[in-house]
Chain A
């Protein structure tokens, strides 16, 4: 340990001491569980057994087990759909809102701030409110869609397997849009205004200015926003718990919720940790992408 410290410049000894507490904590309570999860996924875990670290080795049996389940394919498709569609909608809507609120009109920043109310609320409460909005027979969403002539028949958003995953995606987009809008606003505000003036003098129209200046200048921000959005969507648990709990018949099941259900509702911890391990690999890949895309922005 002393040898390790010796590598640091002497005068920053105080700062290093400060950092070590937090990093040690994270190493023990986040790093070790991360590794332990991988170990668990190769073990045969029985929750009824007395607590022990050494359990029978199962090899790849747990992984084989989860992939041979009938719902595996659906969970995979749903997870990709959930992340992909949520991201696409969040970024597009967030971008449009960011462009709108950067215009000059009364109360623009105040109204933009109001949007963050959705972001600050507990996910479970947001899920419960959306569950009420989505209600089939007395829900206000169906009522509004039918009154405006978009729908002719009620949709049972949460109990119809054809719609359940989209209902969860709609609620998740609602949750994620404010954060996307905020980060994209920051990126947009940082583009120098004289670029647009010069382009306007050269006769570029609004569309040409958007594709010629805005989009290329926003590349780094978009990279960060997309990867951060993917991370937040892959973390989403509360909404699914409140809305559909993966049902009906796994039609809205996604990997992170499936893993929890396997471990805590059917007590198949081995299968649960195998799903978690696979999902974490995906999260880590996106996380590395995120860190790299924000690094360009860092001014340190």
Chain B
């Protein structure tokens, strides 16, 4: 009996929490007149779709493509550079690696909105703003790399040291031990963390907004913010845009939910 009371309570709490998401999806299908109706309707009277409009009038395809390129670049470099570092910081223990772990954790704490001023000024001086998408990738990696190292290190820590030692005793070089023995065991953690990094970069806003001056290279987040800045707010368009943007992210999340939860809990507290 108590189980079902708890179940109902949990169901209500979850529904209340997810209400904003429901509201986004429901607004997508409303008509302009219904949108501003008071009291608001909780189910669209005549479902309409504005997806095509968002793509043609707002150039959403171009924005999504730019976000996609930036997220791919960021993820590729982060995984390539970060995996080795995560492994090294998990397997070598001395004063220097403690210091490095400390530095990585502290870097993770720095807000992008405060780092962007010096990065902009320096990149302008170096001429990096001429290739704006590359500039955003370089800047964004400073944010994703510490995050990636912390979470990946947690999955390397879980792999028994004896496996590496056994490979070395068998005559493998440290590099072979890493690539043939350790890496395959950590591939799960690496994949989930890489997807998290990708999703994070896909929704990145501050660097794209500040470092990309040419509209042609702008990302989906900046396209969305330009949408709200308009004098007359087209709420249905904005919610359609948001839904198109967020649905793939939510699907990826649903598919990986269990692993994400496991990875996060291992990484954040260990």
Contacts and interface: CB of A to CB of B under 8 A. Distances in A.
Contacts of B107: 26, 30-31
Given A122-B246, A128-B242, A105 B40 contact: no
Given A22-B84, A40-B118, A287-B106, A106 B112 contact: no
Interface of A: 7-9, 11-19, 21-23, 25-26, 29-34, 36-37, 40, 45, 51-53, 97, 100-101, 103-108, 111, 113-118, 120-126, 128-133, 137-140, 143, 147, 174, 177, 179, 182-183, 185-187, 221, 224, 228, 231, 234-235, 237-238, 241-242, 256-257, 259-260, 263-264, 269, 272-273, 276, 279-280, 283-284, 286-288, 290-291, 294, 297-300
B196 to A, nearest CB: 8
Contact of A137 (B9, B38, B258): B38
Interface in B119-166: 119-122, 124-126, 138-139, 141-142, 145-146, 149, 157
B27 interface: yes
Contacts of B17: 114-115, 118, 174, 177
B47 interface: no
Interface string B22-40: 0110010000000111111
Contacts of A26: 103-104, 107, 142, 145-146
Given A7-B96, A105-B3, 13 more contacts: A15-B91, A30-B110, A51-B124, A113-B261, A129-B23, A132-B235, A133-B23, A140-B23, A234-B111, A259-B114, A280-B110, A287-B106, A297-B270
B38 A269 contact: no
Secondary structure at chain A's binding surface: helix, strand, loop or mixed? helix
Contacts of A264: 116-117, 120, 209-210
Contacts of B104: 26
A129 B24 contact: yes
Secondary structure at chain B's binding surface: helix, strand, loop or mixed? helix
Contacts of B141: 25, 29
The 4 closest A-B pairs by CB, nearest first: A122-B203, A18-B84, A22-B85, A51-B125
B187 interface: no
B249 A256 contact: no
Interface residues of B, number: 104
Contact of A107 (B7, B111, B157): B7
A96 to B, nearest CB: 9
A23 B100 contact: yes
Contacts of B171: none
A19 B84 contact: yes
B268 A138 contact: no
A102 to B, nearest CB: 10
A98 to B, nearest CB: 12
Given A186-B269, A287-B109, A121 B250 contact: yes
A34 to B, nearest CB: 7
Contacts of B217: none
Contact of A131 (B138, B228, B260, B269): B228
Contacts of A118: 17, 20-21
From A117, A130, A143, name the one whose CB has the most chain B CB atoms within 10 angstroms: A117
B148 to A, nearest CB: 9
A235 B112 contact: yes
A291 B121 contact: no
A300 B93 contact: yes
Contact of A23 (B85, B94, B121): B85
A185 B108 CA distance: 23
A128 B228 contact: yes
Given A26-B103, A34-B118, A120 B249 contact: yes
Interface string B247-269: 00110010001101100110011
11 contacts: A33-B119, A37-B118, A120-B253, A129-B242, A147-B39, A238-B206, A257-B113, A272-B117, A279-B114, A286-B109, A300-B90
Contact of B122 (A7, A36, A137, A186): A36
B117 A228 contact: no
B259 to A, nearest CB: 11
